[in-house]
Structure 1
Amino acid sequence: MHKVVPKSLFICALILIALNLRAPFTSVFPLLDDLKLRLDMSSQQAGLLSSIPLLAFAIFSPIAAIIAKKISLETTISLGLLTIIAGLCLRAWIRIDHLLIGTALIGVGIAIINVLLPSVIKQYFPNITSPLTALYILMMGIGAAINSSIVVPLSSIHFSSITLSGLPIALLAMLPVCLFALLVWLPIQLKRTLINNSEYAQQTPPIWKRPLAWKITVFFGLNSSFNYIFISWYPAMLTSVGYSVETAGLYHGVLQLASAIPALVMAPLMLRYQSMTAYCVFALVTAILGIVGLLFFPPLALWSGILFGMGAGCGFTLGLSFITLKTSTPFQAVALSGMAQSIGYFLASFAPFLAGYLHETSHQWNSTLIAMLAITPIWATCGLLICKSQRI
């Protein structure tokens, strides 16, 4: 049975959980050069560190709804946080197998929470879904930006008793935040709500037979593909044109902070302006300008990263907002969220690996950036068509 949850408690828990939905795995990318050197990893193996979480998103996104049906939305989110904690701890033992398995566990935990948060928001606060969605996306970006900016300095801390200097410390940076998020979420878990099985029978045709659901899925998948290529390889792109590792790590943090800016602006705007078309155009234009800028003007890489981050961040906010705005019930939101994130992240899981492969074969990053530009018309078309569509 649904119980009332104080808004202040819910928002506090939402913020703390959101801080853990990107930072635990994106913060490893400023450390890639160090990890590749110390563990003798190839670019393809390093690319797996971003592909594995995305594959976990693809596989476990539809499973999250099934688990929630059995043990409740709230308990499943707690399970997701515990899985992230396990992955963070395992990854701190610096070995290739631990690194990959720990990253996979982090991906599973994030996948579970990613799918269910839109439905939880729609269930507890159905009248302010878009602002709360924008809020937690904002905190995802802030958490990732701060963590990416501090992991390189943390990795330089030397203790004789810790293997590979400060790398374990850097990889465990999000552990206290995740533990605190679980602690704050527990009172909400006690008010857990089982998904109403009768809603399943009412959804005809199934969500995957709705054309609008597929447009949202493709839009979300391409936006995620572009985003994770930059999250994975932006530091390497910068070092390849002469930037230091420290500067590349700092710019990587700025990129992720820039991805949070649209959510900061969109949270209040969505209360007044419900039309998504202007937001979609902004996302498309800024992301394309960022790719073009990095391709042709490497000295302006910081500004290119900011532009791309703002565009991809706006697109990500739109993708998740579409899930709540284009559905009518919490169950529809769970079903669409599972479909869009499962298939979307499956497509995105290959993007960092393919980007690394293109770099290995061409020995430069321009081929990756050109390939991204070639795909943007599909992304743009889906986004604009979704904005003009009614609810599923």
Structure 2
Amino acid sequence: MRGAGSGLRGAAWVLPAAIVLVALNLRGPIVAPAPVIGDIRVDLGLTATIAGLLTTIPVLCFALATPFASWVIARADPERALSLSLVIVLAGTVVRSMPSSAALLVGTAVIGIGITIGNVVIPVVIRRDTSAERVGLVTGVYTSALNVGSMITSLGTAPIAAAWGWPVAIAVWAVLAVVAGFAWTYAVGGRAAWLRPSPAEAEEPLPVTGPIDQVMDAGAIRTVRAASAPVRPARRLITWGLTLAFGGQAFSYYALTAWIPTLLHDEIGFSKASSGASSSVFQILAVVGALGVPVLAAKWRPRAIISLVAFLWLAMPLGLLFAPQLWLLWSVLGGAAQGGGITVIFIVIVRIVSSDADARRMSAFVQGGGYLIGSAGPLVAGSLHGATGDWTAPLLVVLVAVLTLGIVGTTAARRVS
């Protein structure tokens, strides 16, 4: 068992509950400006391309700040790193709510850095502190909560803005960071009987017994340990495949998240409030995919799940392209797919790593490269829409990204059981 000073408190539900509250802050702040982007553009004089940066900047931070996040987690323990993540998100949310373009962009970047730390450390915590049979379930709960956070902000931002203005509407979500901070502080205050051994205990060498001529010397032991050390992520072909697949998933998700309210307003004539509420369907249906994938993972191989996810994902860009009036159906299918896509990739990562350090490096590499690709989604979609005046080109680009997820993802996971 882990020592009292390092464990997580209480019964088996405490850690997942704390992770859920933390996860509400790891996507919601990004999508908060989308339902009121028209008001922000009018007040601050932003172009469509600059407005796209409000979603692009955090995702770009996910890529560029990932080495920093990995360094923070390696120097501090995961508990402190996650607490720091919440503090940074809180500070960025407050700064972003100030009614100036500079504060808007700076606060958005600060939020991105804070979320990056949380992105990298959560899979490490789940792998370390969750029993093997519960890893898939807790991962699904975590990714579900990411989308619940997006749904809450998509639903609530426009009505709040109508009553008190957009600065208040995007600042009020700082309350979630405060609540999550208290929950996480409670969770790390004790120890839980259901946790696995700590890394130090798990990696402690077994005592060597037997005749003296059978005992290896220190040099031989170091050689064996070096030979059994995990291969660095960049030297593994599956890492690059998962990174590209994650990039296709992230590109599609953030491009649609940033522009679905505007697309529905343009194509169907929804009001601002209705567009925000309608786009929340895409977010909340991700819960179905995020919780359904761990169930499938108990019987299906990951490559089969990725194929199913990609097939359902295709309905979103194709449906909006040819029959936008059926947006609800496409949002249901695409929402479930995007929740399942990120979940199955995280499950593959957990299954192929061999230690906490390996998990941290793999998580940082896949998410860093994937989010670098994904960061272009809102900017590319916004620029194409601005250049063409319609949504055909942006949706075709999303279609290509989804195909990348399906083809590369299934190929990369072909040997994972």
* TM-score, structure 1 as length reference: 0.92
Give the gaps of 5 or more residues in structure 1. Answer: 159-165
Take 2:416 and 2:327, find their aligned partners in 1: how far apart are those partners?
Answer: 39
Structure 2 residue 179 is matched with structure 1 residue 180: yes
User: SS in structure 2 opposite 1:347?
Assistant: helix
Question: Do the aligned partners of 2:302 and 2:416 also contact (CA within 8 Å) in 1?
Answer: no
- Given the superposition, is the C-alpha separation of residues 375 and 150 from structure 1 closer, same or farther in structure 2, using an over 3 Å criterion? closer
1:70 counterpart letter in structure 2 = R
Aligned-residue offset at 1:157: 1.0
Number of residue pairs aligned between Structure 1 and Structure 2: 382
Take 1:156 and 1:321, find their aligned partners in 2: how far apart are those partners?
Answer: 41
Take 1:62 and 1:273, find their aligned partners in 2: how far apart are those partners?
Answer: 35
Partner residue, 1:167:
166
Structure 2 residue 34 is matched with structure 1 residue 29: yes
Give the gaps of 5 or more residues in structure 2. Answer: 192-196, 205-224
Take 2:50 and 2:374, find their aligned partners in 1: how far apart are those partners?
Answer: 17
Take 2:167 and 2:383, find their aligned partners in 1: how far apart are those partners?
Answer: 28
Structure 2 residue 295 is matched with structure 1 residue 290: no
User: SS in structure 2 opposite 1:80?
Assistant: helix
Structure 2 residue 378 is matched with structure 1 residue 378: no
The more displaced of 223-232 and 354-363 is 354-363
Structure 2 residue 37 is matched with structure 1 residue 11: no
2:375 counterpart letter in structure 1 = S
- Given the superposition, is the C-alpha separation of residues 284 and 243 from structure 1 closer, same or farther in structure 2, using an over 3 Å criterion? same
Question: Do the aligned partners of 2:251 and 2:398 also contact (CA within 8 Å) in 1?
Answer: no
User: SS in structure 1 opposite 2:26?
Assistant: coil
Take 2:163 and 2:199, find their aligned partners in 1: how far apart are those partners?
Answer: 47
Q: What is the aligned-residue identity percentage?
A: 27
1:82 counterpart letter in structure 2 = V
Question: Residue deviations 1:259-299, cap 9 Å, x none?
Answer: 222113234444x3252233212211111111111001111
Take 1:373 and 1:268, find their aligned partners in 2: how far apart are those partners?
Answer: 27
Partner residue, 2:273:
246
* Candidates 50, 72, 77, aligned match of 2:55: 50
2:368 counterpart letter in structure 1 = S
Aligned-residue offset at 1:375: 4.1
Aligned-residue offset at 1:173: 2.7
- Given the superposition, is the C-alpha separation of residues 87 and 195 from structure 1 closer, same or farther in structure 2, using an over 3 Å criterion? farther
Question: Residue deviations 1:239-272, cap 9 Å, x none?
Answer: 11122212211111111111222113234444x3
Question: Residue deviations 1:111-135, cap 9 Å, x none?
Answer: 1011111111111114121111100
Structure 2 residue 390 is matched with structure 1 residue 364: yes
Question: Residue deviations 1:362-389, cap 9 Å, x none?
Answer: 1111011122223443321212123322
2:135 counterpart letter in structure 1 = T
* Candidates 278, 291, 300, aligned match of 2:304: 278
Question: Do the aligned partners of 1:72 and 1:194 also contact (CA within 8 Å) in 2?
Answer: no
Take 1:183 and 1:339, find their aligned partners in 2: how far apart are those partners?
Answer: 30
* Candidates 83, 86, 110, aligned match of 1:81: 86
User: SS in structure 2 opposite 1:340?
Assistant: helix
Larger radius of gyration: 2
Question: Do the aligned partners of 2:384 and 2:394 also contact (CA within 8 Å) in 1?
Answer: yes
Take 1:28 and 1:83, find their aligned partners in 2: how far apart are those partners?
Answer: 18
Partner residue, 2:156:
150
Take 2:330 and 2:295, find their aligned partners in 1: how far apart are those partners?
Answer: 26
* TM-score, structure 2 as length reference: 0.86
Question: Residue deviations 1:24-58, cap 9 Å, x none?
Answer: 11121111111111111100100110110011101
Structure 2 residue 25 is matched with structure 1 residue 20: yes
Question: Do the aligned partners of 1:68 and 1:194 also contact (CA within 8 Å) in 2?
Answer: no
Question: Do the aligned partners of 1:223 and 1:316 also contact (CA within 8 Å) in 2?
Answer: yes
* Candidates 123, 127, 130, aligned match of 1:125: 130
Structure 2 residue 74 is matched with structure 1 residue 63: no
